[in-house]
Amino acid sequence: MTGMRTASLPQVRRRRLATQRLSAAGLPHGGDVVRLLTAVQSQDAPLAAWSLAMRMPPGTTCAGLLAEQSTGGWVRTHVLRPTWHHLAPEDLRWMQRATGPRVESSLNGRRRGLGLDDDLILRAFGVLERVLAGPTPHTRRELRPRFEAAGLPTDVERLAHLLIVAELRSFICSGPPRGAEHTYVLADETLPPAPP
């Protein structure tokens, strides 16, 4: 291919650092960073906050980022694989439609091993719908006795799996952080309507 310009490795590095806002001017809000990057790995919440802050103006604080997340700047949910990511609220539904079924099918063997069938999952969704309806988000610790009262499994692994499935189906997503704990809310009460 004659006439095609190729970039040197140092040029590619500089361009990539600038595009990801690691060497260019920082973005004003954490939500802007989440939108730029589309899906930000957030399994480790403090490191995820640091990743956002690196792409923002100097002086950005973890408290400021948590405040922005609390007001809906972005949501934290399972998407792309069985781990958490930060997403813009308007991106969650289309991303879950594109990736959720495949991620959930990759968990089918574990789901069977945990003894979780479709009936248990639907019952868990019913409990989540009743408990999370309204303005009060709940932590996993607060959901546990509600699941137990409904005769649902509450051990760490099975409860976590039920919540992951609910996230992958866009039934629930993160609510505002409460101290060091994450909360859950109903996606339909939190997210904008799905785009066509």
What pLDDT sits at residue 180?
Answer: 81
Residue 171 has pLDDT above 70, yes or no: yes
- CA separation (Å) from 117 to 107, 134, 147, 149, 158? 12, 28, 15, 19, 11
158 touches 114 (CB < 8 A): yes
- DSSP symbols for 44-55: SHHHHHHHHHTT
pLDDT for the residue 193:
79
On whether residue 1 sits in a domain, the answer given is no
Asked if residue 86 lies in contact with residue 48, where contact means CB atoms within 8 angstroms, the answer is: yes
Identify whether 196 is part of a domain: no
pLDDT(194) > 80: no
Q: CA-to-CA distance for 166 and 168, rounded, in angstroms?
A: 6
Backbone angles phi, psi at 174, to 5 degrees: -70, 145
Strand partners, 87: 75
Query: Is 143 domain-assigned?
Result: yes
- Report pLDDT digits (tens) over 77-126: 999 989 999 999 999 999 999 999 999 999 999 999 999 999 999 999 99
Q: How far apart (Å, rounded) are the C-alpha atoms in residues 173 and 184?
A: 6
Q: Please indicate, yes or no, if residue 90 is contained in any of the structural domains.
A: yes
Question: Does residue 174 surpass a pLDDT of 60?
Answer: yes
In Å, the largest CA–CA distance within the chain is 71
For residue 84, count other CB atoms closer than 10 A to its CB: 23
Whether residue 95 is contained in a domain is answered as yes
- Tokens at 22, concatenated: 């690691």
Distance CA 72, CA 87 (A): 10
Amino acid 113: pLDDT: 96
Per-residue pLDDT tens for 5-60?
Answer: 777 899 999 988 888 888 888 999 999 999 999 999 998 888 888 999 999 999 99
Q: What is the token pair recorded at 100?
A: 């959720």
Bridge partners (DSSP) listed for residue 40: 86
- Identify the pLDDT of residue 98: 94
* Cβ-based neighbour number of residue 71 at 10 Å: 9
Number of structural domains found in the chain: 1
Q: Per the domain annotation, does 71 fall within a domain?
A: yes
Kindly state the average pLDDT of the residues 168-181: 91
The reply to whether 132 falls in a domain is: yes
Res. 76 pLDDT band, cuts 50 70 90: very high
Stretch 48-75: mean pLDDT? 91
Give the end-to-end CA distance of the chain in Å, rounded to a whole number. 40
Residue 146 lies in domain: 10-190
Domain assignment present for residue 2? The answer is no
Question: What is the C-alpha to C-alpha distance for residues 96 and 128, in angstroms, rounded to an integer?
Answer: 19
pLDDT at position 22 is 87
